[in-house]
């Protein structure tokens, strides 16, 4: 990068409480007319999350010393210089992949992600991802900042989870949407087909963190981050399975899958967190075969049905929805065909 944008801030020039450095810089920039002018001139917008990332990337100097800890506590008289990396072109390549677009304007795009599509390139999935498809569809408007390799992405769905997603097409929209998700100012609803028959509704408040025994899994742990899922029973398909609606108050990795499994109602098809029912309890061979058919569902039966938020640029409130995909509808028909009488 040739000439990065630099913003200098002196603690004594602001009547702010002594905070951790990422919070203080966020508030100081909001109050600084000079900083605001510099940012506006360069079409740059900073959220606390972005500032935190900049600090972790060693883009903040405090009294001549690089600080890479966002929780560092400030003292009176400190001089802070923040370097803002220039906007870089996204690294992943563009690929022509069909997208199911629900809505699109100059700032963002809302789409229906199909099951099986990875959101962004990662080890084992270098291409044919949603990012590759967005790069082809959006062209030069889709950019990353500071070397980010997930252009436009502000949230994600697991590979085998389907449903409605939003992505940013411009830097300003990216920052605005990131803030919306970070502050939980967004409504997200999912439908899941789970094993068993839960009660009418409930709230799961259990912290989620990385499993200490399997790094691919998340787990309920006191050392994890707060996670809240509200769920409601929508339909019952005999004692074997039910359809539930889940609303996210937070957005942790695998949150719904972990939470529903933790209360004994794991999602059908979830190989990582799922539990199947014992077929030994069924004396009827025909019934056993139907249960086997349900167990063979090839992905977690989880679909993001609704997404509602305030547009980061126009401020208009937007509501988007996505019907259950055909594979989940087919699963429901199979479940409806399972009758429980004296045979179990």
Of the candidates 158, 179, 187, 323, the residue annotated as catalytic is 158
Could you give the CA distance from residue 50 to residue 83 in angstroms, rounded to a whole number?
12
Nearest to 146 by CA among 41, 26, 5: 5
pLDDT of residue 336: 87
Q: Do domains 86-183 and 186-307+324-344 have the same CATH topology?
A: yes
Pick 5-85's CATH classification: 3.10.20.30, 3.20.20.80, 3.10.290.10, 2.30.22.10.
3.10.290.10
| Architecture category of domain 186-307+324-344 in CATH | 2-Layer Sandwich (3.30)
The model carries a pTM of 0.73
Residue 252 burial by Cβ neighbours in a 10 Å radius (0-12, 13-18, 19+): buried
Long-range contacts of 180-187 (CB under 8 A, 24+ apart): 180/154, 180/309, 180/310, 180/312, 181/154, 181/155, 181/251, 182/47, 182/48, 182/49, 184/249, 184/250, 184/251, 185/309, 185/310, 186/307, 186/308, 186/309, 187/247, 187/306, 187/307, 187/308, 187/309
Could you give the CA distance from residue 195 to residue 273 in angstroms, rounded to a whole number?
12
Q: What is the mean pLDDT of each run of 10 residues along the chain (344 residues)?
A: 77 82 88 83 73 89 91 81 73 88 96 94 79 86 56 90 94 89 94 93 96 87 95 90 96 96 95 69 62 85 98 97 96 82 42
Whole-angstrom CA distances from 67 to 52, 70, 73, 92 are 11, 8, 11, 30
pLDDT of residue 280: 47
Element (H, E) at 71: none
**3-state DSSP assignment of residue 333:** helix
Could you give the CA distance from residue 163 to residue 113 in angstroms, rounded to a whole number?
5
Number of C-beta neighbours around residue 206 at 10 A: 19
pLDDT of residue 97: 94
Sign of the alpha-carbon torsion through 35, 37, 41, 45: positive
pLDDT of residue 76: 65
CATH fold of 86-183, please? Pseudouridine synthase (3.30.2350)
Whether 323 sits among the annotated catalytic residues: the reply is no
Ordered by start, the domain boundaries in the chain are 5-85, 86-183, 186-307+324-344
């Amino acid at each position: 990068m040739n000439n990065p944008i630099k913003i200098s801030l002196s603690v004594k020039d602001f009547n702010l409480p002594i905070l951790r450095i990422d919070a203080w810089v966020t508030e100081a920039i909001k109050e600084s007319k000079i900083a605001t002018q510099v940012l506006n001139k360069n079409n740059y917008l900073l959220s606390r999350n972005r500032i935190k990332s900049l600090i972790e990337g060693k883009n903040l100097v405090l009294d001549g010393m690089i600080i890479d800890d966002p929780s560092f506590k400030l003292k009176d008289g400190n001089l802070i210089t923040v370097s803002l990396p220039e906007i870089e072109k996204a690294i992943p390549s563009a690929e022509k992949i069909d997208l199911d677009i629900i809505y699109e304007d100059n700032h963002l795009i809302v789409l229906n992600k199909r099951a099986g599509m990875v959101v962004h390139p990662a080890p084992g999935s270098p291409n044919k991802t949603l990012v590759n498809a967005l790069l082809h569809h959006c062209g030069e408007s889709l950019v990353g900042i500071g070397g980010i390799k997930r252009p436009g992405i502000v949230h994600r769905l697991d590979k085998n989870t389907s449903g409605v997603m939003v992505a940013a097409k411009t830097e300003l929209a990216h920052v605005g949407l990131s803030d919306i998700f970070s502050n939980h100012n967004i409504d997200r609803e999912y439908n899941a087909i789970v094993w068993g028959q839960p009660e009418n509704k409930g709230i799961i408040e259990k912290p989620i963190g990385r499993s200490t025994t399997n790094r691919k899994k998340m787990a309920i742990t006191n050392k994890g981050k707060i996670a809240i899922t509200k769920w409601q029973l929508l339909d019952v398909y005999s004692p074997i399975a039910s359809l539930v609606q889940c609303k996210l108050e937070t957005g942790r990795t695998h949150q719904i899958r972990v939470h529903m499994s933790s209360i004994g109602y794991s999602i059908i098809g979830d190989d990582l967190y799922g539990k199947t029912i014992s077929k030994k309890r069924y004396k009827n061979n025909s019934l056993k075969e139907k249960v086997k058919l349900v167990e063979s569902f090839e992905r977690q039966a989880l679909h993001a049905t609704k997404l509602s938020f305030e547009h980061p640029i126009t401020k208009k409130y937007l509501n988007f929805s996505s019907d259950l995909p055909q594979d989940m509808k087919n699963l429901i028909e199979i479940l409806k065909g399972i009758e429980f009488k004296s045979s179990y």
